[in-house]
Amino acid sequence: MADTTSAPAAPEEKDRHLHVRLSDSRTAIYDLITEYLQAAGKAPDWYWRLAGRLEGTDADNLEELLSSAFEAGAFITHDHPEDVQFSWVTEEECDREKRREERGSEHGDAAKERSSLSHYA
């Protein structure tokens, strides 16, 4: 049997990159990450305060934040697979999606989602 994971991608597949989104626009990523942090015995308040003021100058804290975010992503896909949507998109599809999100933020949708982080910062 041939190993398809090492097979070269078709030309159109090479030009795609991965987008990971929450399936339900009412779900807040911050709540899912907080759930992970609590389950992992980490302090959500510390994490969110640090994330809110991090300027990229403290390598140890940046590494901890990135590691925790990566672990949170794995936790979410394991414990909440129904909440995560994966799609491989072209640059054109990506640009269209960004424009759609920008239009949505003009109407307050994105601001509402970002505001769920404010009580942690």
The string of pLDDT tens digits covering residues 47-103 is: 888 877 766 566 677 777 777 888 888 888 889 888 888 888 898 988 898 888 888
Q: Would you say 61 and 117 are in contact if contact means Cβ atoms under 8 Å apart?
A: no
Global pTM? 0.54
Structure token pair of residue 64: 């901890």
Task: Output the CA–CA distances (angstroms, integers) from residue 7 to 1, 14, 19, 65, 90, in the order listed.
Answer: 12, 12, 22, 34, 20
CA distance 116 to 25: 13
